[in-house]
Amino acid sequence: MDTQINIKKYLPLTEATYYILISLLEPLHGYGIMQNVEKISDSEVRLGPGTLYGALSKLEKEKLIQHVSSSERKKYYQLTEGGKKLVQLEFRRLTGLIKNSKNVIERMEENNEQK
Amino acid sequence: MSKNRKRIFKVFFAWQEEKEAAWLEEMAEKGWLMEKYHMIFYTFVQGQPEKYIYKFDYRDTNRDTTEYLEIFQDSGWEYVDRYLNWYYFRKKDDGTQLSDIYTDSRSEVQKYKALFRTFLILGIVNLFNLINITFNTSNTLSHQGELTFYNILRLLVLAAFVLVGYACFKTYRRIQGLKSDL
């Protein structure tokens, strides 16, 4: 319960952070994350190296991801238990937003069609 | 220094990043690629005139520098040089790629917060120097010549303090500007 409360303070996540977290269920290195985010978002979301590196060091410091291994010059990261909980909480929050606003958005669209 | 290299003396302040980048990009279009930066000297190497984008990053740590540079290089940014904690990167500009190293303002704020912290520490150190020099000289001075020397020193420290103070202010303003989105 305690961790739940602690983790809630990170919400809402930025788009970049959310995409980084969902890329790290399995171990992956920095550039791998960039490629994965571009792939799963259909090239809609692209992360700059400054943004990615900043997010990684922050997430690692907050123990939401951890450094699992290194090969050559690359560090591999993976979600911690806390990181998994965070991404699930954010998913639920976002789903709630969509559900609660659907009605309003649909009415707006209907109005637009009538005009 | 060989024929295809040149050294240029030029001063840009920390709050003039865009101006500095524009100048380096202009140099690249004339075929001069930045190679090194030291103190106030830029060294350029002659090459093909081409369009480049220059970006600078600031880190207040030396941890994981290999990994840090690797991420930049993997994503197509060439590491040019580093001076103190400033990192110079560039990329050929073909108009299709991502042209910035920061893609959201929240992460960019982190960069300027690190810079702000550095300036703040510098400012405090300078303030102590200023106080020290102003109050400690009166009893140690005996000659007229020394007095002038201390006056010049005092003026220099004061100028440094004003400069650092201004840098703090400019960096703070930039952080506020980045934060102003909804």
pLDDT tens, position by position, B42-56: 999 999 999 999 999
Q: State the pTM of this model.
A: 0.88
Cross-chain residue pair A16–B103, CB shorter than 8 Å? yes
- Among the partner residues A14, A31, A53, nearest to B104 by beta-carbon distance: A14
CB-based contact, A16 to chain B, within 8 Å: yes
Average pLDDT over residues B4-14: 93
Say whether pLDDT at B2 is over 70.
no
Mean pLDDT of chain B: 89
Q: What is the pLDDT along chain A (115 residues), one digit of tens a residue?
A: 455 568 889 999 999 999 999 999 999 999 999 999 999 999 999 999 999 999 999 999 999 999 998 877 789 999 999 999 999 999 999 999 999 999 999 999 998 887 7
- Among the partner residues A16, A46, A53, nearest to B71 by beta-carbon distance: A53
For residue A2, the model assigns a pLDDT of 54
Cross-chain residue pair A14–B106, CB shorter than 8 Å? yes
Confidence of residue B23 (pLDDT cuts 50, 70, 90): very high
- The residue ranking higher by pLDDT, B98 or A18, is A18
Would you say B70 and A74 are in contact if contact means Cβ atoms under 8 Å apart? Answer: yes
CB-based contact, A59 to chain B, within 8 Å: no
- Among the partner residues A31, A55, A75, nearest to B107 by beta-carbon distance: A55
Chain A residue numbers touching B74 (CB-CB < 8 A): 30-31, 34, 49
Average pLDDT over residues B134-148: 63
For residue B98, the model assigns a pLDDT of 82
Question: Taking Cα atoms as reference points, which of B14, B10, B38 lies closest to residue B24?
Answer: B10
- Contacts of residue B30, defined as CB under 8 A and 6 or more positions apart, other chains included, come to B49
Cross-chain residue pair B72–A49, CB shorter than 8 Å? yes
CB-based contact, B94 to chain A, within 8 Å: no
CB-based contact, B57 to chain A, within 8 Å: yes
**Alpha helices for chain A (secondary structure H):** 2-8, 15-22, 30-40, 49-61, 81-114
Confidence of residue B40 (pLDDT cuts 50, 70, 90): confident
Say whether pLDDT at B145 is over 80.
no
CB-based contact, A67 to chain B, within 8 Å: no
Say whether pLDDT at B144 is over 70.
no
Average pLDDT over residues B148-165: 88
Average pLDDT over residues B59-66: 89
Would you say A44 and A8 are in contact if contact means Cβ atoms under 8 Å apart? Answer: no
Residue B75 has phi, psi (to 5 degrees) of -95, 20
For residue B151, the model assigns a pLDDT of 80
> Residues 145..164 of B with a Cβ closer than 8 Å to A: which?
none
CB-based contact, A13 to chain B, within 8 Å: no
